[in-house]
Structure 1
């Protein structure tokens, strides 16, 4: 057994609880956020690092290797670029998304939640998946594009379910164009389109503006816990 394999096999907890084992897989700093960035498809090393402010290249390499050894993600070469590698969640790795949704809804109830901090595009999209009012969304059918400076996504809303994938797949009923922080402030602060934003970048909407307002009305942050 190699040194790396021995390190991977070392147990943090002598505990049969599944939660304890989950912490061994993703409990190290940055691990969960690495998975967050891969939730909507494969990413290159530099793309992951750019959306994790503060992580060093060395630590990110260690986390990627550990998650690969655990079977949570895979590293593969892009077929058209030769030496360029991407990291991608395995089907089992993708099953972690409901945990992100539950943790997000739970943590944002804290008064320590600061929406002015950095928000990655993947974070903004996961928040929509977590905070949507599924009852209010029933009966609605829309296609929605999100165009941010460094990333783009396409969403399909049908009968309360919002499916989002990375990439620009063509025409949509609504297209939101801005940075992800302004987008989140507009959605959760219920600001009018084009209003002043924390980043100074207004949000523009292409398509059916009335439908766009109905769309953002589907999302609300949970009430804060009592002092």
Structure 2
């Protein structure tokens, strides 16, 4: 990318991450370290040479590192450096700003279950953002969505989401398409989402308490 040539922190930041696809590469690596083939598969529409170029630029800037895994894996794995992980907070804030644009549904857009990890980061507030008297319920939720399984954990420290396996045990299981799952987590359609929610009555009640804390919930 050509430099803006400005002595400004924003301009210099955009010199590094302002190119098309770059922030989506960072999104994937915030979800977790990835091999090149996995990154390419998770970014439908990006040309393989362009992905290689973006990764090289991010490595040179100190945002991304690449490690060679020893046999029997024998693969190159990309991950964010400590400095690169500092992009999580600003990218989550951009996603929060854009959440209203999700309410029209997926339409013909690509959708992948793993992207819900980032959506969950944006949907739920940080602990310091809670109002007086509010607290996160203690509950675990496995989300089975578009070929991926995610584990959502809610406790006093906040809400986290990670990619997990389909046999992970959790108090609540939510199953549906990306659009359906986003609707139930965000309370976009109130309690009318067609996502399937199963679990004990106690855990489902706690899950409902969690979704009431979503920044998109009507009560907020």
With normalisation by structure 2, the TM-score equals 0.79
Deviates more, 1:208-217 or 1:112-121: 112-121
Change (3 A) 1:182 1:49: farther
CA contact (8 A) 1:176 1:205 kept: yes
* CA positional deviation for 1:75: 1.5
Kindly indicate whether residue 204 of structure 2 is the aligned counterpart of residue 205 of structure 1.
no
Kindly indicate whether residue 167 of structure 2 is the aligned counterpart of residue 176 of structure 1.
no
Poorly superposed stretches of 4+, deviation over 6 Å: none
Change (3 A) 1:127 1:147: same
Alignment equivalent of 1:100, drawn from 69, 91, 95:
91
Deviates more, 1:161-170 or 1:58-67: 161-170
Name the CA distance, whole Å, in 2 between partners of 1:78 and 1:72: 19
Task: Give the unaligned 5+ runs of structure 1.
Answer: 1-9, 196-201
CA deviations on 1:155-214 (whole Å, 9 max, x unpaired) are: 22122611222324842222223333321133232364772xxxxxx5343443333333
Kindly indicate whether residue 152 of structure 2 is the aligned counterpart of residue 155 of structure 1.
yes
Change (3 A) 1:172 1:80: farther
Alignment equivalent of 2:137, drawn from 136, 140, 148:
140
* CA positional deviation for 1:88: 1.0
CA contact (8 A) 2:31 2:118 kept: no
Kindly indicate whether residue 185 of structure 2 is the aligned counterpart of residue 187 of structure 1.
yes
CA contact (8 A) 1:140 1:160 kept: no
Alignment equivalent of 1:164, drawn from 161, 165, 171:
161
With normalisation by structure 1, the TM-score equals 0.77
* CA positional deviation for 1:80: 4.8
Aligned to 2:118: 126
* CA positional deviation for 1:147: 2.6
- Counterpart mapping for 1:39-58 below 5 A: 39-58=30-49
RMSD: 2.9
Kindly indicate whether residue 45 of structure 2 is the aligned counterpart of residue 27 of structure 1.
no
Aligned to 1:221: 216
Count of aligned positions: 207
CA deviations on 1:129-170 (whole Å, 9 max, x unpaired) are: 222145266152122222334433222212261122232484
